[in-house]
Amino acid sequence: MGALWHGFADMGAVERDGAFVVTRGEGVRIYDDQGNEYLDATAGLWFTNVGYGRAEIADAVAKQLTKIGHYSNFGDLTTDTAIELAERLATIAPVQNSKIMFTLGGSDSIDTAVKMARRYWVVMGKPEKTLIVGRQKAYHGMHWAGTSLSGLPLNREGYGDLMPEARTVTWDDASALRALIEAEGADRIAAFFAEPIIGAGGVYLPPENYLTEVRQICRENDILFVADEVVTGFGRIGGSWFASSKFGLEPDLMTTAKGLTSGYVPMGAVFAAPRVSEPFFAGGTWLRHGYTYGAHAAGAAAALANLDIIEREGLLVEAKRLESTLHEKLSPLAEHPAVAEVRSGLGAVAGIQLADASKAMGFVKTLRRHGVSTRACGAGALQISPAFVMTDAEVEELATRIRAALDEF
């Protein structure tokens, strides 16, 4: 019996069949403990945007650790590296003069944004605005607030009613948000959370104009708009740092993680537009919230090196290229009898929906035999979200391997 308890796992099955143990990575390929090679279709878990084996990031972290690994970020304390990273992120923020609060990951960022939103309305003299709204199919991490906001019912089962003030609307219809506002009252709703591309829920692209419509609805009803860019941020949307910039959303709050460090060190960040941050920066008003390892100095060093690579190698443009190539090479798989649909064409992502959703978990293991590492997400979809450094030839290789696995399966 192994000691490691895996996340999102049937541990009985893991004990019976064994774990898939990854020992190293290089570029867009990973290797297991038997030396077998795989194309990594998921970039770890949406995060290894610059690919594996980047010694530059490792060196930056090692250098920081020899200076100071971390120091408290509470009160007036911080490190020079954290300040440098915050200033740099402010220059690429979708809203000018944004403030940055650092977290340890996406789930942290979501809970932080929920608390910021509710605390903001108390400060503004509207404490009755407590409802937080999410969308069906959406995934917002697995902390208290994120679990409550989840549009994936299975992720909420067995925990009780964690946050009674959470509401869920249809994922693809802006009028559903209007209807909820009419039913609940705009004076009770604090914030609306939206993933620009629904990720773990199955890779669903936003309907045309949906994001701009819900953003405008929030403006009209004085509701904070929160863009959950844990997946789409730092280039995954293709051609821009953030989907919020690409679509001109000007979010009041934006949650990020994953691509901030390309997963080399755990780190996340919440971007707060001036509307939200100014009441707290004016003095005398506290946000009594933070994390022991928030603004971690070694994490900040990793993030700075990661951002250097993205800028120097033009990886935002490469992600846009990947958007096109994934669409071109994977879309034909929709004709396979085992596939119901391929969702692609926006961002360096794709979702391959199996015709029989119940077979997705088993198909993941079939894919491994063909040298592809991916995972099932949503209701029987395969997640495709490779590193931005995947070449067009490697995308074609990926598509060929997937087709061979489909033929076998």
Q: In whole angstroms, what is the distance from residue 386 CA to residue 388 CA? A: 6
The span from the CA of 217 to the CA of 177, in Å, is: 8
Place of tokens 């994953």: 258
> Class for domain 11-53+314-408, per CATH?
alpha beta
**Three-state DSSP state, 173:** coil
Q: What is the pLDDT of residue 10?
A: 94
Residue 199's pLDDT is 97
CA–CA separation, 60 vs 56, rounded Å? Answer: 6
pLDDT score at 155:
93
Q: What is the pLDDT of residue 368?
A: 98
The whole-number pLDDT of residue 315 equals 98
pTM higher than 0.95, yes or no? yes
Positions of E strands within 235-327: 253-256, 268-272
Q: What pLDDT does residue 409 have?
A: 84
Q: CATH 3.90.1150.10 residue ranges in the chain?
A: 11-53+314-408
- Provide block-wise average pLDDT over 10 residues at a time, the chain (409 residues): 93 96 98 98 98 98 98 98 98 98 98 98 98 98 96 94 96 98 98 98 98 98 98 98 98 98 98 98 95 98 98 98 98 98 98 97 97 97 98 98 96
* Pairwise CA distance, residues 49 & 348, whole Å: 10
pLDDT number for residue 211: 98
Amino acid found at 34: Q
The sign of the torsion formed by the CA atoms of 200, 191, 268, 287 equals negative
Where do the CATH 3.40.640.10 domains begin and end in the chain?
A: 57-312
CATH of domain 57-312: 3.40.640.10
pLDDT for 390 equals: 98
Buried b (16+ CB within 10 A) or exposed e, 224-249: bbbbbbbbbbbbbbbbbbbbbbbbeb
